[in-house]
Amino acid sequence: MMHTQEWVVEERYTTKRGDYRVFSTPSMTQLVESTANQLAAPHLKPGQGQVGVLVTIRHMGPTPMGKKVRAEAELTAIDRRKLSFKVKVFDDVEQVGEAEHDRFVVDLDKYFEKLKKKLDPQSQGGKQDRS
The answer to whether residue 15 is catalytic is no
SS (H, E, C) 43-107: HCCCCEEEEEEEEEEEECCCCECCCEEEEEEEEEEEECCEEEEEEEEEECCCEEEEEEEEEEEEE
Cβ–Cβ under 8 Å, residues 102 and 85: yes
- Rg (alpha carbons) of the chain, rounded to whole number: 18
- Residue tagged active-site, from 3, 14, 33, 35: 33
- Residue tagged active-site, from 3, 14, 35, 59: 59
- Residue tagged active-site, from 4, 10, 25, 76: 25
The answer to whether residue 101 is catalytic is no
Active site residues: 25, 33, 59
